[in-house]
């Protein structure tokens, strides 16, 4: 998602008359030696305006800035416990490299506005994490930045809220995947009890985990040796029921690993069963999936998250 770019008329910064210039001066001071790359790219005029603002502008005292930066680097909370944070404060809580990645490709003027609104220590960390060309353009834009229209600010805040929410959803999904991989290796009894406990403390958590656990369709990704091992452990009648209405990939993986005659008999049995209640089909699929998971726990076959792990002989 791309944030909307600011529309402004560029003009030479006035040394003490623009809030953006004063903010840029404060960030440069916070960055200290880390700002050398930005200083080197500024014109003589930009450097002069910035240095004048650093000495003459109404800028927060250096000692207070340094303390604020130390708090940011140590992730010390600025707000009382329980008080909600706005989007600018939440951005400061993100790792600077992560935030820079989220904002990759954004318009320099948009980055300038973000730097103007974030708490200064977090903004300084973001400047340091941005690619140098983007950081320089953003700082130049910040020096020219005047008052921002409330509607523009509200729009960008809304877009950033969306970016932050998307990232949170991805992290939640990634966490569910990790837990699902662990649960795939638990016995059915432990899996059930743990899922129940998690669901009690976090409603909906169980469904998120189940969505990423080993399923009947995942059997299609197993190698021939694993499929043949599974076939040796299951009843053909159960398999015929499980394959009723199954997708082509999972059906084909079983048929490819049978003799031609056995495959023909299986297809005939599937077709001969006629309509079957979904509950019976799901029960058959669960039985086969549980057998596959049991084999994976014993190490007899590779689990679905091990398939892409390279084997070295």
Cα–Cα distance, 41 to 37 (Å, whole number)? 7
pLDDT-based confidence at residue 13 (cuts at 50, 70, 90): very low
Q: What are the CA-CA distances from residue 52 to residues 45, 46, 56, 58, 59 (Å)?
A: 11, 10, 6, 11, 11
Domain 215-298 bears CATH identifier 3.40.50.1580: no
pLDDT on residue 18: 64
CB 266 within 8 A of CB 239: yes
pLDDT on residue 237: 92
Across residues 54-77, what is the average pLDDT?
Answer: 49
Quote the radius of gyration of the chain (alpha carbons, Å). 29
pLDDT on residue 163: 76
Residue 194 in this model has a pLDDT that exceeds 90: no
pLDDT on residue 15: 43
Element (H, E) at 92: helix 87-93
HSE-CB at 168 with a 13 A cutoff on CA atoms is 9
Cα–Cα distance, 237 to 45 (Å, whole number)? 83
Residue with tokens 């084999």: 295
**Domain 19-148, what fold?**
Annexin V; domain 1 (1.10.220)
Across the chain, what does the average pLDDT equal? Answer: 74
Across residues 243-252, what is the average pLDDT?
Answer: 91
Cα–Cα distance, 134 to 115 (Å, whole number)? 12
The least confident of 217-231, 256-270, 290-304 is 290-304
Q: Which of 40-44, 101-105, 236-240 has the highest mean pLDDT?
A: 236-240
Residue 238 in this model has a pLDDT that exceeds 80: yes
Cα–Cα distance, 208 to 204 (Å, whole number)? 6
Q: What global pTM score does this model have?
A: 0.41
Give the number of residues written for the chain. Answer: 313
Residue 122 in this model has a pLDDT that exceeds 80: yes
Helices 150-183 and 108-117, packing angle to 10 deg = 90
pLDDT on residue 64: 43
Across residues 282-301, what is the average pLDDT?
Answer: 85
Residue with tokens 């604020």: 68
CB 99 within 8 A of CB 89: no
Query: Who wins on pLDDT, 223 or 69?
Result: 223
């Amino acid at each position: 998602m791309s944030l909307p770019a600011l529309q402004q008329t560029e003009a030479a910064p006035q040394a003490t008359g623009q809030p953006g210039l004063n903010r840029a001066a404060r960030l440069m001071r916070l960055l200290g030696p880390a700002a050398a790359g930005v200083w080197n790219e500024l014109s003589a005029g930009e450097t002069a305006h910035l240095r004048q603002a650093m000495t003459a502008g109404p800028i927060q005292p250096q000692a207070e800035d340094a303390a604020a930066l130390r708090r940011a680097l140590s992730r010390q909370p600025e707000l009382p416990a329980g008080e909600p944070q706005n989007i600018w404060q939440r951005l400061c809580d993100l790792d600077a490299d992560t935030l820079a990645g989220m904002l990759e490709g954004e318009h320099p003027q948009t980055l300038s506005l973000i730097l103007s609104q974030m708490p200064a220590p977090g903004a300084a960390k973001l400047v340091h994490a941005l690619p140098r060309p983007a950081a320089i353009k953003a700082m130049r834009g910040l020096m020219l930045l005047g008052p921002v229209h409330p509607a523009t600010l509200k729009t960008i805040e809304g877009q950033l809220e969306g970016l932050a929410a998307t990232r949170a959803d991805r992290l939640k999904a990634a966490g569910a995947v990790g837990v699902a991989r662990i649960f795939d290796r638990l016995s059915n009894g432990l899996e059930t009890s743990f899922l129940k406990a998690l669901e009690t403390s976090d409603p909906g958590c169980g469904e998120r985990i189940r969505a990423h656990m080993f399923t009947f369709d995942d059997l299609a990704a197993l190698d021939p040796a694993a499929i043949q091992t599974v076939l040796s452990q299951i009843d053909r009648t159960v398999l015929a029921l499980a394959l009723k209405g199954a997708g082509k990939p999972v059906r084909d993986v079983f048929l490819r690993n049978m003799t031609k005659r056995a495959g023909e008999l299986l297809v005939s049995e599937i077709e001969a069963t006629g309509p079957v209640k979904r509950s019976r089909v799901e029960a058959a699929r669960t039985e086969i999936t549980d057998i596959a998971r049991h084999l994976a726990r014993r190490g007899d076959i590779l689990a679905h998250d091990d398939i892409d792990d390279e084997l070295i002989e």
